[in-house]
Chains A and B, each alone.
Chain A
Amino acid sequence: MLMTDRERLAGEIKALAEKHGNCRTALIPIVQEIKQKYRKVDDFAMQVIADQLGIHPVEVYSVVSFYAFLGSAAHGKYIIRLCRTISCDMQGKERVMRQMENDLGIRFGETTADGKFSLEWANCMGMCDQGPAMLVNEKVYTHVTPEKVHEILEECRRSFGVHATEQKEVYLV
């Protein structure tokens, strides 16, 4: 059966609403899952969610725009969030930042052209004793140094590489 992207998305949201409960308390878990899968929550998704939960689309927008992790423009495959608060700052977040910007060729708040990386600022993630701290999607890295940045980025890139090789192999077989 042919299915448009929108129909598929609407179906997924419906399933999520059944999983989390068809009421407004289910809003955040649903938005989180959609954000995780599609890396963004678009206009259509917000309206379907609102419709499912019996609330208004603007209320979904209000919540999404409130939480940086739900609504930020960043939608790279890997969203890197570096802590900018005082203890991480004193432990050298500036150098880490520069290393990352150089390595990826983008500034903070931007996404690489290939859509693989986004750089964002974060405020305190409770790792003040182990700064500078950084989040790569949901994984926390502490005591980050410019050298480590390179490693971390390489690790991420490798995941794309492996993925690509796997596909290639499948193709060859």
Chain B
Amino acid sequence: MSPTPIQETGSRAPKSQQSLTIARSAGDEAIGGTVTASINGQEVKVPLGTTILAAAEKIGVRIPTLCHHPDLCVAGVCRVCVVEVEGQRTLQAACAFPITSPIKVLTHTRKVRQSRRHVIDLLLSEHYGECYACGRNNNCELQGLAKEYGVDFFRFGHPSKPKYEIDRSSYSVIRDNDKCVLCRRCVRTCIDLQEVGTIEVAGRSDKSYITTFKDKPLGDVVCINCGQCINRCPTGALRANDPTDEVWAAIDDPKKHVVIQTAPSPRAAIGECFGLEPGAPLTYELNTALRMCGFDRIFDTNFTADLTIIEEGTELILRLYKALVGKDANIALPQFTSCSPGWVKYLEHFYAEYIPNLSSAKSPQQMFGAVIKTYYAEKHGIDPKDIITVALMPCSAKKFECNRSEMDDSGYKDVDYGLTTRELAKMISEAGLELPKLPKSDFDAPFGTATGSGVIFGATGGVMEAALRTVIELVTGTKVESLFEKANIIPVRGFEGVKYVELPINEVGPVPDILKHLVPDWNWLKGATLKVAVAHGTANAKKVMEDIKAGGKFSECHFIEFMGCPGGCIGGGGQPIPTSPEIRSARAKAIYAEDAAYEVRKSHENPDVLTIYNEFLTDGPCGHKSHKLLHTHYVPRGKYIE
């Protein structure tokens, strides 16, 4: 056992100020590898350096927390988790106290209880707002603490007037600083977890507050709308821009034909809003609920996810063909996925020079909007101006995306409203429905059939897996099942930050009909190795982008999947609160289970997709019509703001 200098902790602190961590190469069993702590008289053996909070959790002692979050670094600012440690003059924050020697901890003595109550009273003395007029009522950590510690009056008073103006400038995120308790979870999320850096603490002492650069409105600064801050906010200080009133108004209007598309991630998570454990998909119950709420048609976003795969896959093949056969040096490779609006805006801000690499294919949500207001309207004789398209998404950035000025290729606003999982759960409750108990029902035709490939878009690596299933079959002419058991491409799955996979193409088959007008044969791909990568969370995306800039191994990739949120869409900013690595992995499991249950699991085998190419997009994938409706362009935004 030897102390190593300084290990990368991922902390923002400069190296000289980072804590020294001791490498325990000999393992926990070695002398000094573990340490015994006594918590309330109960002994627990934990690895050296474990926090009191984690050690207590191990023996079932719950210490209340507020600023602590499993996804974020230690802050120790709220002081709610204070405990008595023998030999320490003052109370210590359990979340920030590493156990390095045998210690005795008492977690709920009179002194501790009074201090915690004091801390909560002080937090409430600065917390403006009434709980029943707050979106986080019954799901608020501050409210929970107040209840737990029996707060029955405001010892230090309660603000009667708001101090700050509510910032409603963003399409996606609304900030209400009056409800903020300065736990800095959003700051750590934005700077450490996502590395976007939109919000920080300004000012000092009692005048400190969370703000954007130069206190500008959120809509004007560099923000990718990922909403990760909303998911981690313990109170109602951050929330998504909620369009439920407008959606209800559209439903109540008999002239409007209200169409909703549901994405796979919300379906895997919405049960959490109704008291179910994470990982219980309610796809078909949700269809019933939406019909009972009054939506006219319920479609599956997976249909356009399959369409995305065809369009994006074709675009990739065309790029490779032009670059490898045509020797065109202007072709931008690797191609980046463009399904995640958070990632797209991140690229537009921070790596605008790489916009040509971004696939021009729209995200499934926007493709759906465009198809509904053209193909569907035409087919069913409905005036597109009477159609309201609503998208159920796990995402707050989708609200921004549907408001982008370039998203009106149907001649109307392609998608009218983006709803998050939480907002739809609210609507369902408002309609008096108990979602888990509803009978199951199917999606509506003509966009009802989807494939397993569309479902897995929700988890990180899913788009890549779906694309590979299709590309492998179209190019090699052999079944994916012969290469990967049950067509499960395991190497691209999982929550590793960045994944890199090489796939040699040994055999090529005949060119399928759908692509015949684009490439004559596949011989130019014979013997080539397809290099792909997957990154989730913009912090990981940044690592990949920096590597590409430096000419590293990712610059030689052909196709890279990027997702703006940690874990992909299942960890999106519109998903039920709370979130943690365990919750996200349960949701991912639900998604992969749903995929396995589908009969058709490859996008190019979706019969509805084939129909739309026969009936409507007659010039094929990446043809003229699909370019007009299903593809888009991007705006270089840069990171400097005026």
Question: Residue A25 at the B interface, CB < 8 A?
Answer: yes
- Supposing A55-B197, A56-B191 touch, asked if A65 and B14 sit within 8 A by C-beta, the answer is no
- Supposing A51-B639, A61-B202 touch, asked if A56 and B197 sit within 8 A by C-beta, the answer is yes
Q: 1/0 per residue B195-236: CB within 8 Å of A? A: 011111111100000011110000001100000000000000
Give the number of chain A interface residues (Cβ < 8 Å). 17
Question: Residue B550 at the A interface, CB < 8 A?
Answer: no
Chain B residues contacting A56 (CB-CB under 8 Å) are 191, 196-198, 200, 213
Interface centre among B14, B191, B214, B641 (most CB of A within 10 A): B214
A57 to B213, Cβ gap below 8 A?
A: yes
Q: With both chains docked as a complex, state the minimum distance between the C-beta of B220 and any C-beta of chain A, in angstroms.
A: 12
Interface residues in B619-642 by Cβ distance below 8 A to A read 639-642
CA gap between A62 and B204 in the complex, in Å: 9
Chain B residues contacting A43 (CB-CB under 8 Å) are 213-214, 641-642
Question: Residue B16 at the A interface, CB < 8 A?
Answer: yes
B198 to A24, Cβ gap below 8 A?
A: no
CA gap between A23 and B222 in the complex, in Å: 22
Q: With both chains docked as a complex, state the minimum distance between the C-beta of A43 and any C-beta of chain B, in angstroms.
A: 6
Q: With both chains docked as a complex, state the minimum distance between the C-beta of B503 and any C-beta of chain A, in angstroms.
A: 35
Taking a contact as CB atoms closer than 8 A, the residue among A23, A61, A62 that contacts B14 in the complex is A23
B203 to A65, Cβ gap below 8 A?
A: yes
Which bucket holds chain B's interface residue count?
A: 20 to 34
CA gap between A59 and B639 in the complex, in Å: 14
A58 to B212, Cβ gap below 8 A?
A: yes
Q: With both chains docked as a complex, state the minimum distance between the C-beta of A137 and any C-beta of chain B, in angstroms.
A: 22
Q: With both chains docked as a complex, state the minimum distance between the C-beta of B63 and any C-beta of chain A, in angstroms.
A: 29
Interface residues in A47-96 by Cβ distance below 8 A to B read 47, 51, 55-59, 61-62, 65-66
Q: 1/0 per residue B378-409: CB within 8 Å of A? A: 00000000000000000000000000000000
Q: With both chains docked as a complex, state the minimum distance between the C-beta of B566 and any C-beta of chain A, in angstroms.
A: 19
Q: With both chains docked as a complex, state the minimum distance between the C-beta of B268 and any C-beta of chain A, in angstroms.
A: 33
Query: DSSP class of B's interface residues: helix, strand, loop or mixed?
Result: loop
- Supposing A43-B214, A47-B641 touch, asked if A58 and B200 sit within 8 A by C-beta, the answer is yes
Interface residues in B172-214 by Cβ distance below 8 A to A read 191, 196-204, 211-214
Nearest A residue (CB) for B191: A56
CA gap between A50 and B421 in the complex, in Å: 36
Nearest A residue (CB) for B199: A58
Number of A-B contacts defined by CB within 8 Å:
54
CA gap between A51 and B638 in the complex, in Å: 12
Q: With both chains docked as a complex, state the minimum distance between the C-beta of B533 and any C-beta of chain A, in angstroms.
A: 23
B197 to A59, Cβ gap below 8 A?
A: yes
Nearest A residue (CB) for B215: A61
- Supposing A43-B214, A66-B204 touch, asked if A58 and B14 sit within 8 A by C-beta, the answer is no
CA gap between A43 and B222 in the complex, in Å: 14
- Supposing A25-B16, A47-B640, A56-B191 touch, asked if A62 and B201 sit within 8 A by C-beta, the answer is yes
Chain B residues contacting A24 (CB-CB under 8 Å) are 12, 14
Nearest A residue (CB) for B12: A24
Chain B residues contacting A62 (CB-CB under 8 Å) are 200-202
Chain B residues contacting A23 (CB-CB under 8 Å) are 14
CA gap between A58 and B200 in the complex, in Å: 6
Chain B residues contacting A25 (CB-CB under 8 Å) are 14, 16
CA gap between A149 and B641 in the complex, in Å: 43
CA gap between A89 and B14 in the complex, in Å: 40
Q: With both chains docked as a complex, state the minimum distance between the C-beta of A24 and any C-beta of chain B, in angstroms.
A: 6
CA gap between A65 and B642 in the complex, in Å: 19
Taking a contact as CB atoms closer than 8 A, the residue among A44, A46, A58, A65 that contacts B197 in the complex is A58
Q: With both chains docked as a complex, state the minimum distance between the C-beta of A123 and any C-beta of chain B, in angstroms.
A: 11
A61 to B203, Cβ gap below 8 A?
A: no
Q: With both chains docked as a complex, state the minimum distance between the C-beta of B136 and any C-beta of chain A, in angstroms.
A: 25
Taking a contact as CB atoms closer than 8 A, the residue among A51, A58, A66 that contacts B213 in the complex is A58
Chain B residues contacting A46 (CB-CB under 8 Å) are 213-214
Chain B residues contacting A59 (CB-CB under 8 Å) are 191, 197, 200
Q: With both chains docked as a complex, state the minimum distance between the C-beta of A55 and any C-beta of chain B, in angstroms.
A: 7
Chain A residues contacting B221 (CB-CB under 8 Å) are 58
Chain B residues contacting A51 (CB-CB under 8 Å) are 639-640
Nearest A residue (CB) for B198: A58
CA gap between A25 and B213 in the complex, in Å: 20
CA gap between A56 and B222 in the complex, in Å: 10
CA gap between A129 and B541 in the complex, in Å: 57
CA gap between A25 and B196 in the complex, in Å: 20
B203 to A66, Cβ gap below 8 A?
A: yes
Nearest B residue (CB) for A27: B14
CA gap between A56 and B350 in the complex, in Å: 11
Taking a contact as CB atoms closer than 8 A, the residue among B12, B14, B197, B201 that contacts A57 in the complex is B197
Chain A residues contacting B197 (CB-CB under 8 Å) are 55-59
Nearest A residue (CB) for B13: A24
Q: With both chains docked as a complex, state the minimum distance between the C-beta of B77 and any C-beta of chain A, in angstroms.
A: 14
CA gap between A47 and B641 in the complex, in Å: 8
Q: With both chains docked as a complex, state the minimum distance between the C-beta of A31 and any C-beta of chain B, in angstroms.
A: 14
Nearest A residue (CB) for B209: A65
CA gap between A65 and B209 in the complex, in Å: 11
Chain A residues contacting B14 (CB-CB under 8 Å) are 23-25
CA gap between A55 and B13 in the complex, in Å: 12
Nearest A residue (CB) for B216: A43
Chain A residues contacting B198 (CB-CB under 8 Å) are 56, 58
CA gap between A51 and B639 in the complex, in Å: 9
Q: With both chains docked as a complex, state the minimum distance between the C-beta of A19 and any C-beta of chain B, in angstroms.
A: 17
Chain B residues contacting A65 (CB-CB under 8 Å) are 202-204
Chain A residues contacting B191 (CB-CB under 8 Å) are 56, 59
- Supposing A23-B14, A25-B14 touch, asked if A61 and B639 sit within 8 A by C-beta, the answer is no
Q: With both chains docked as a complex, state the minimum distance between the C-beta of B173 and any C-beta of chain A, in angstroms.
A: 15
Chain B residues contacting A61 (CB-CB under 8 Å) are 200, 202, 211, 213-214
Nearest B residue (CB) for A48: B640
Interface centre among A25, A44, A59, A65 (most CB of B within 10 A): A65
CA gap between A55 and B639 in the complex, in Å: 12
Q: With both chains docked as a complex, state the minimum distance between the C-beta of A53 and any C-beta of chain B, in angstroms.
A: 11
Q: With both chains docked as a complex, state the minimum distance between the C-beta of B190 and any C-beta of chain A, in angstroms.
A: 8
Q: With both chains docked as a complex, state the minimum distance between the C-beta of B13 and any C-beta of chain A, in angstroms.
A: 9
Chain B residues contacting A44 (CB-CB under 8 Å) are 640
Q: With both chains docked as a complex, state the minimum distance between the C-beta of B454 and any C-beta of chain A, in angstroms.
A: 36
**Apart from the given pairs A46-B214, A57-B222, A57-B639, 8 other A-B contacts in the complex at a CB distance below 8 Å:** A46-B213, A58-B200, A59-B197, A61-B202, A62-B201, A65-B203, A66-B202, A66-B203
What are the 3 closest A-B residue pairs judged by CB atoms, nearest first?
A56-B197, A62-B200, A65-B202
List 9 A–B pairs whose Cβ atoms lie within 8 Å, in order of A's numbering: A24-B12, A24-B14, A46-B213, A51-B640, A57-B197, A57-B213, A57-B639, A58-B211, A62-B202
Query: Which residues from chain B sit less than 8 Å from chain A, CB to CB?
Result: 12, 14, 16, 191, 196-204, 211-214, 221-222, 639-642
Query: Which residues from chain A sit less than 8 Å from chain B, CB to CB?
Result: 23-25, 43-44, 46-47, 51, 55-59, 61-62, 65-66
